[in-house]
Structure 1
Amino acid sequence: MTVPLTRNRNYTLLWGGQAVAEVGFAASLIALPLLVLAMTGSPAAAGLVLSVDATAQFLAGLPAGALVDRWDRRKIMLACEAAQALALGSLVLALISDTATLAHIVVVAAVLGVCRALFEPAEDASLPRLVPDSQLATAIAMNSARSSLGQMAGTALGGVLFAVGRFVPFLLDLVTHCLAFVALLFVRMPPREPVAVSERHFLREIGDGLRWVWQRKEIRVTALCAVVLNLFFAAFYMVVLVLADARGVSSGAIGVMAAMLGVGGVVGALIAPWLHRVLGPYVSIASVFWALTVLTPVAYFVSDGYVMGGLFALMTLLAPTANTTIATHQMLLTPDAMRGRLSGVVSVVLGVAGALGPALGGLLTQFLSADRAVLVCAVGIALVTAFVTVSPTLRRYSAEQEGVPNEV
């Protein structure tokens, strides 16, 4: 009999440690630009720090995936937690002693970005070895809920703690990474098969990961559709912020509106294991595209920030189910020796959409009215939804490798 996921000691240790680390990370992420603004008064410098963090994670993505498949994944996760704790500790000491510089903050941001690039594929690739196939979808959904909860709590804490003291959010992040490190020490990872010597050429390993993703049509098509959807949704989010401001929505209401994205993500992640079983693979994936196609044009008519927040929550409600279905299928389809590279490639590809989406939204609002920019985003989402609807690859999307229904 399969042990319920909540009684899986190794998974709960990993999940719990990363739950607290997510809170600390979100607190630091909101506090970093506030810190740079307070030190320099330059919005450009504040944006630079966040850009360095994201760029470091993006550039390290492909090499990180290959390293995750080459090295011991648990040791990689431990090293990442230790490196982040050391970087944050140096920043806390510099802030307390009033010796922090912009260059120091940039280096810390780069370290955090590289560590996430390594840790995320290491955790993703380890998950199928920590939980049985029948519970993998539930574990992936719970990780998604963990991230959303951590983002909500950490973002709120970061601003409050920064008002208490500039170093306090980073001290929180330091403590949470230390706790996550301790939790990882007690995780027992099942042994992996040794990697053949002939496969250990690093650049060849990166190329193998890219070829693996490209040659698997299901992975290639779902990744392409996800990139286009994320691109237009990220642009839509930027456009809606401009539109809300133009319609006189208060900053407080805009904050609530943005927070509702997280609320929808949390609720969606909690119901994702159930929806994943009930809807089936194709409907699980297509439903998020259909929902966004219907809901995006509604923003054209909404002028109240709180109503827009409710719309945002509905828009993100089904995303965890689609992500759970796709990630579960991909992990079970991919050999263990390739899972790190799979995660690295997918994160890099999706990172492109995350980086270009806000820029696209900014350009749309620069050359069009915000109202018309909403409609452009709606058309873009509708086109990719039409492709998803008729795609024979997605209609044949199979979960036959995912096993029996999940147990929590």
Structure 2
Amino acid sequence: MEKTKSLKQFYILWSTQSLSHLGSAMTSFALTLWLYDKTGSALSTAALRICTYAPYVVMSIFAGALSDKYDKKKTMLVCDVLAALTTVLVFVLYKTDALSMWHLYAVNAVSGLMNTVQQPASEVANTLVVPKEHYQKTSALQSLSGSLVAIGSPLLAAAMYGLAGLDAVIAVDLATFAAAFLALLLFIRLPAVGRKTGKEEKVLKLAREGLRFLKEHRLVLDVILFMSGVNLVASAFDAVLPALVIPRYGDSVLGIVTSCSGIAMVLGSLLATVMPKPRNRVRVIYLTMLFSLGTENFLLAFSRSPVLWCAGQIIGWILVPVMSANQNVIMRSSIPVELQGRVYACRNTMQFFTIPIGLALGGFMVDNVCEPFMSVNSSNSFLAMLFGSGKGSGAALMMFVLGVAGTVLCLGMGRRLKRYRYTDDMLPEGQQGESACR
């Protein structure tokens, strides 16, 4: 009973914010469908994601500094309102038949910027309302809700868009925003996070403090750099998967195979929720990623069966929430609360900038290297036995390359990370990770 009471604010914040994220994700997917109906261009719809993601990568460091400089709750409320206003603008333009492609790009850029500023504040808010002993459990619950949103938003958005139109999807988005906004405004009380200075600090200086903290705390920095490499391989995988599946089995099978990753994330989130505290969280991080990258890519490269591809997706993604929960615990426990916003923002830039690079690299390698190579060597029976023949065999070859790259990355960085041993009781609260080396 006491534990439930201590997590009451977290449950309110987590559930309502997750509901709002579901509404936002539904609108994003519905806008993609609307734009594709209007243009028939895959590049035009892909640009929506680029416009959303670019502010996140470019502005995260400064966004974290802003988060630490200003009140966390007010920052979240202001960002929510501005993001909601962009959704209202889309609704008005749509109802007046004035909505065009450039409107969506501009709106997505603004929404992406608001999310960039809000996320560090939200991370700190969760730290402030969660007792330290519940960090792993709450991190797993956040991963679970993210997985459910990833699975449910395309299905719900597609169904609602087809039955009732874009305006119905936007109405649901605004309703979920209102619920999250009122819950944050009325029911969440965040303790003040004082700074030991009486003068106004510049954002650029605060951003440098985040970078300085990472430089001085090698455990946190090395985990971030490791995950940056993992994201490079994983995003390249995302670019290659359609080229592997669609030529052989079509769009519907791609949807089924892709959904298996979401199902695996849900299962993994439940697993992370009930797992006991590990003896060494750093070891869990690199071993789970070694298992994921060292199995899934090879299984998809050497098989031509959708059943095995689904199994590969489940194997590859089921331990990702376990990794994520352990990384979150290290970050929350190692970084002083008053610095978390700027350090999380630096983490976002350093850990996720490789994602667009990986997407571009994976697509380029399949189209310009691997598929031409397999076409030229189509008579080679050994290559045909390994990767198949015809279109899609080059993607299978690229999956093999990614399997090798992921395994080498995890083994190489694993040797570096082995020198760290992180446990929750290693140091007093607020000092964990300060000197967590063997």
Shorter chain as normaliser: what TM range?
over 0.9
Q: Does 1:372 align with 2:397?
A: yes
Identify if the C-alpha distance between structure 1 residues 402 and 84 changes in structure 2 by more than 3 Å, giving closer, same or farther: farther
Report what 2:422 is aligned to. 397
Once residues 67 and 250 of structure 1 are traced to their aligned partners in structure 2, the CA distance between those partners, rounded to angstroms, is: 46
Identify if the C-alpha distance between structure 1 residues 244 and 402 changes in structure 2 by more than 3 Å, giving closer, same or farther: farther
Contact kept? 2:140, 2:321, Cα under 8 Å: yes
Identify if the C-alpha distance between structure 1 residues 222 and 37 changes in structure 2 by more than 3 Å, giving closer, same or farther: same
Could you tell me how far 1:187 is from its partner in structure 2? 0.7
Once residues 327 and 402 of structure 1 are traced to their aligned partners in structure 2, the CA distance between those partners, rounded to angstroms, is: 17
Task: Tell me the alpha carbon deviations over residues 27-65 of structure 1, each in whole angstroms, 9 at most, x when there is no partner.
Answer: 122122222222334333222222111112222211110
Could you tell me how far 1:386 is from its partner in structure 2? 0.9
Identify if the C-alpha distance between structure 1 residues 363 and 306 changes in structure 2 by more than 3 Å, giving closer, same or farther: same
The structure, 1 or 2, with the larger RCO (C-alpha pairs under 8 Å, 6+ apart) is 1
Could you tell me how far 1:195 is from its partner in structure 2? 5.3
Could you tell me how far 1:12 is from its partner in structure 2? 1.2
TM-score, normalisation: structure 1 = 0.92
Identical aligned pairs, as a percentage? 21
Once residues 402 and 234 of structure 1 are traced to their aligned partners in structure 2, the CA distance between those partners, rounded to angstroms, is: 36
Once residues 144 and 64 of structure 2 are traced to their aligned partners in structure 1, the CA distance between those partners, rounded to angstroms, is: 23
Report what 1:203 is aligned to. 204
Report what 2:184 is aligned to. 184
Report what 1:224 is aligned to. 225
Q: Residue type of the partner of 2:319?
A: L
| Residue ranges of structure 1 left out of the alignment (5+ in a row) | none
Q: Residue type of the partner of 2:135?
A: L
Report what 2:380 is aligned to. none
Q: Residue type of the partner of 1:109?
A: N
Structure 2 counterparts to residues 7-406 of structure 1, below 5 A = 8-164=7-163, 165-185=165-185, 186-194=187-195, 196-198=197-199, 200-246=201-247, 248-275=248-275, 277-278=277-278, 280-292=280-292, 293-366=294-367, 367-368=369-370, 369-393=394-418, 395-400=420-425
The DSSP-based 3-state class of the residue aligned with 2:345 is helix
Could you tell me how far 1:147 is from its partner in structure 2? 1.0
Once residues 387 and 235 of structure 1 are traced to their aligned partners in structure 2, the CA distance between those partners, rounded to angstroms, is: 19
Q: Residue type of the partner of 2:284?
A: S
Once residues 389 and 95 of structure 1 are traced to their aligned partners in structure 2, the CA distance between those partners, rounded to angstroms, is: 51
Once residues 115 and 241 of structure 2 are traced to their aligned partners in structure 1, the CA distance between those partners, rounded to angstroms, is: 29
Identify if the C-alpha distance between structure 1 residues 6 and 371 changes in structure 2 by more than 3 Å, giving closer, same or farther: farther
Please say which structure displays the higher CA radius of gyration. Answer: 2
TM-score, normalisation: structure 2 = 0.86
Task: Provide the aligned length of Structure 1 versus Structure 2.
Answer: 402
Once residues 239 and 310 of structure 2 are traced to their aligned partners in structure 1, the CA distance between those partners, rounded to angstroms, is: 14
Identify if the C-alpha distance between structure 1 residues 362 and 218 changes in structure 2 by more than 3 Å, giving closer, same or farther: same
Task: Tell me the alpha carbon deviations over residues 100-133 of structure 1, each in whole angstroms, 9 at most, x when there is no partner.
Answer: 1223212221121112112211111122210111
Could you tell me how far 1:175 is from its partner in structure 2? 1.6
The DSSP-based 3-state class of the residue aligned with 1:267 is helix
Identify if the C-alpha distance between structure 1 residues 278 and 338 changes in structure 2 by more than 3 Å, giving closer, same or farther: closer
The DSSP-based 3-state class of the residue aligned with 1:303 is coil
Contact kept? 2:240, 2:362, Cα under 8 Å: yes
Task: Tell me the alpha carbon deviations over residues 332-383 of structure 1, each in whole angstroms, 9 at most, x when there is no partner.
Answer: 1111111001111111122212211111111221211222211110111111
Identify if the C-alpha distance between structure 1 residues 147 and 400 changes in structure 2 by more than 3 Å, giving closer, same or farther: same
Identify if the C-alpha distance between structure 1 residues 194 and 386 changes in structure 2 by more than 3 Å, giving closer, same or farther: closer
| Residue ranges of structure 2 left out of the alignment (5+ in a row) | 371-393, 430-438
Once residues 153 and 331 of structure 1 are traced to their aligned partners in structure 2, the CA distance between those partners, rounded to angstroms, is: 29
CA RMSD of aligned residues (A): 2.1
The DSSP-based 3-state class of the residue aligned with 1:400 is coil
The DSSP-based 3-state class of the residue aligned with 1:339 is helix
The DSSP-based 3-state class of the residue aligned with 2:170 is helix
Could you tell me how far 1:276 is from its partner in structure 2? 5.4
Contact kept? 1:81, 1:178, Cα under 8 Å: no
Once residues 232 and 309 of structure 1 are traced to their aligned partners in structure 2, the CA distance between those partners, rounded to angstroms, is: 19
Once residues 336 and 417 of structure 2 are traced to their aligned partners in structure 1, the CA distance between those partners, rounded to angstroms, is: 25
